[in-house]
Chain A
Amino acid sequence: MPNYFKKKKDDKEMTAIEIQGNSQSSYRADYQSYIGRKMFFIFVMIVLIVLLVAFIVTIGPLNISVLDVYRIILSRLFPGYFAVEGLPVQVVWNIRIPRIVAGIMAGSGMGICGCVMQAVLKNPLASPFTLGISAGAGFGVAVAAVLGIGVIGGPYLLVGNAFLFAMLCSFIIIALASFKGATSETMILAGIAINYLFGSLSDLFRYFATDQQLRVMVDWGMGDLSAFSWQNFLLLLVLFAICVPLLYLKANDLNIMAVGDENAKSLGIDTNRVRMYSMLVASLLIATIVCFTGTIAFIGLVAPHMARMMIGSDHKYLFPASGLLGAITLMSADAVGMNLLESVMIPTGIMTSMLGVPFFLYLILKRKRREFW
């Protein structure tokens, strides 16, 4: 006997279950697309860097096409397959590309380190600059410029001193903090104190410096990428290859630490240890970058905020996004600074702030309740 009622009832039940199932899977689908959008943003940033590199290399007195740029890069990476010789090769490979690589590495390193420091210190104003690491490096340069004293002589006198004092500064902050239990508040206060101390010591040296010595200190303090060459590329690459994965390993712990130490401890995180570890690794990377580039304050502070506004606070995505945005900002600002005026090159540090601040203010004013992307 056909049982229409039963059939109808089953249909109704199925529909109800289907509706519930569909709504459940729609939330999951929303989440998948949310993660997909973050990945897509990172992918777009990588593509943008590749395109920017080719475009920026072509800017300058010597006319080179984008196609030539790629041909020269490929000829150097795969000699034998792409044979290109002459003046354009020298200009692209020995002058323009190293500067762009420096911009990418320094910008991404500053972005990542700023992101780590803001997370472990739970403070949106934390950056290598506000914590005094740049001030330490600046003092190292002052010692080298005025007294001529340095750990390494010759062309690396400034760089060596900047690195040594940047690391010294980080160690003092970490040591001071470890006495009081390495809380974020102690680290920030110690950082600010060190910033003032090394800042005033640099001022003292500046006060007694000759015009020539003063020029060296001022040039370094404004930030510039010209100290970078293929010789020190390997050193930076090795440090990147070590420090960035070490920091990325803590991405989940940094997510948790952002909700407070008590919460993090209850979820099994040794907050003080993670804080010391992250600060130490980030300091090593940032000291290596700052000693070559000088003080470029803007990137470490703002690149993580720009990335956070775009794709949220999950450090698994925030790390690469901060690095990529830092790289794009620094590379673009340097290119503008190099080519804006015909006879004068505007220092990178100045251009970075001048171009980055309006964009950052736009993001703040246009910010939606959720992230942009």
Chain B
Amino acid sequence: MATLSVEGLTKRFGAVEAVSNLSFTAEPGRVTAFLGPNGSGKTTTLRVVLGLAEPTEGAALIDGQRYQDLERPFHTVGALLDGGFHPGRRARDHLRILATAVGVGDDRIDAALAFSEISYAAKRRVGGFSTGMKQRLGLAAAMLTDPPLLILDEPLNGLDPEGIQWLRRTLRSLADDGRTVLLSSHVLAETEQIADDVVIISQGHLRADASMAELARQVTAEVRVRTPEAGRARALLVDNGFAVTPGDTADAFIVDSTGVEVGELLSAAGIVLHELSPGERRLESVYFQLVSDLPAPPLPAAATPPAGPNAGPVTEPELP
């Protein structure tokens, strides 16, 4: 069991502030998705967590200690970052080098290869691997010591649909075993099926720190209505306090409500419906709203989102 806590982390590169006062926690037994668009500061944060870069301010702690202060860091944290393979080296040799350096036996190499389902490619040179196979080998390396905390940077990149399914199952099962799993991605849709918690950053600022269920509750219900009596129906709905926006055709419009409420009201008025379907607003749209390219506002202390997945609802800073 290992808890990762990022506390007031700021990382500057010269005049550029890559990460600003970032705080969040990844808990044991949960998959935490660390989301943000490319260049939002995710990899920089993970590099600080792993001691590959020094924070300008704040700290990233694993069970209260910096990575570089852990007694057996590679046995505590398994990490997958971009790259990490010599193309001319065989997969098994790659793992053998790591195993030799950390003092684990050949049985762990076999177990890690079997875990990642790439035992068949153990004697092949990594240069001939597909992106998906490299991701699996990277995960095998991360699992070599069976660590309680996994930090995976964009692990779904380059995986085919079967690989994505496999990784989702695998990470879920690792979390169910009590491990802490933190995975970064720039696509919410890739992680919403496996993540328990979600941390969203944009332009180095925290945009949301919540459980996936809490984030889902931010999705406003929305239905698409199509009727030959569009004018009358729209007027009726507006009179009853519903927000109505024009649809893509003259006989259609969108209502911010549920199908039940809209259907019952229009039916009671005797309006014929040709369509009553869920709108297109999904979790993804909440994510896009949070990470929109608008300039990031400074987060005043009072508005700083609470750390931790269970700390409260999604904090959405007011965008100018």
Q: Do A and B interact with each other, yes or no?
A: no
Which residues of A line the B interface, CB within 8 A? none
Residues of B within 8 A of A (CB): none
